[in-house]
Amino acid sequence: MNDESFLKGFGDEPIHMFQFKETYSISTYLYCFIAGPYQIITSDREEIKSYKYPLRLQCRKSLAKYLEKSKEELFKVSKNGIDWYEEFFSTPFPFDKLDQAFVPDYEMGAMENVGMVVYRDDYVERDELFSKTKKDNIVITFLHEISHMWFGNYVTMKWWDDLWLNESFANFVSFICQDEAPGMDDYTNAWGLFLNQSFWGLATDQKNTTHPIACEVIHTDSARDIFDGISYGKGASWLNQTFFLFGREVFKKGIASYFKEFAYSNSTLDDFVRHLDDASKELKIERNYADWADTWLKAAGCNQIWHDIVEEDGKIKKFTVNQRVWQHGEGNKLRV
């Protein structure tokens, strides 16, 4: 087919041709095309219009009037998130722009395509106003997907085995961002929402179908099976423990060097652990990060904790706290 016959095939509609510059190296599962009668929505605020990265929203034309009402809040969240991540990761936003599109009948809640996050369009607030909890959850989702521009897109795991780390990482850092980022004072329930994720992980971990946080994915078709409470909730809890036990500076230093080494390329869980381990040694942390991480990542099951009390003459003579891995098949001794 020659160019002339191709153009005539569209009737009298005007034809526009766009040529884009060569992209950065990205994984094949991280690009997308958004096509259809979408309304492009921009901010009316100078702070956003002149922002260093173009920010836009898209939705079906029938939803544009609703998205217009909440657009400035969503732009504010996006800008505040990018600014905070740039400082926390010691790494600039790795792409040229951020579009965020609300699409109909989307199977997942959201997807972090490079420079174009896609959300299901029931995230658009319409005539029925969202509750405070739902708004907080939508903000967390925005921050989660934006964090993927660094962890997941800027650096992508080599194989599906380690894809859980994308979600665990985005889960954890999005809650810190919501809690700490300047301009996010309206969203006060970050750690309450994080506990919900942790409880999801605990509940999943007590089932007979539980699995280690890090597990083998033999082929692509089975990759989706690991996206559960273990990947999102327990994995995020492991990173929360990293932050708590090894400290903020270890976390920040390790992440910054990790991004620097693997920019626009692939990495593995071992690479991630190595950078955190190196950071902990450089900052003279007594714990061995690699060994500690291994105990969390390679075994399934949550901990069961109980106490034994020895009393004598109405006084506690001995109080012992016991701990072991939850044993399946023992009934409902431990509930979440």
Of 206, 219, 218, 175, residue with least CA distance to 304: 206
**Which residues are 315's β-sheet partners?**
312
Handedness of CA 107, 112, 116, 121 (dihedral sign): positive
* Whether 145 is catalytic: yes
Strand 55-60 relative to strand 98-103, pairing = parallel
Q: Given the structure tokens 């009390």, which residue do they identify? A: 309
C-alpha distance from residue 146 to each of 24, 111, 208 (Å) = 17, 10, 34
Q: Which helix (H) or strand (E) holds 73?
A: helix 64-89
Apex 10 CA angle, 8 and 13, nearest 5: 110
Q: How many angstroms separate the first and last alpha carbons of the chain?
A: 63
Handedness of CA 291, 296, 301, 305 (dihedral sign): positive
Apex 30 CA angle, 48 and 6, nearest 5: 90
Apex 255 CA angle, 251 and 260, nearest 5: 155
The catalytic position among 73, 86, 125, 145 is 145
**Active site (catalytic) residues:** 145
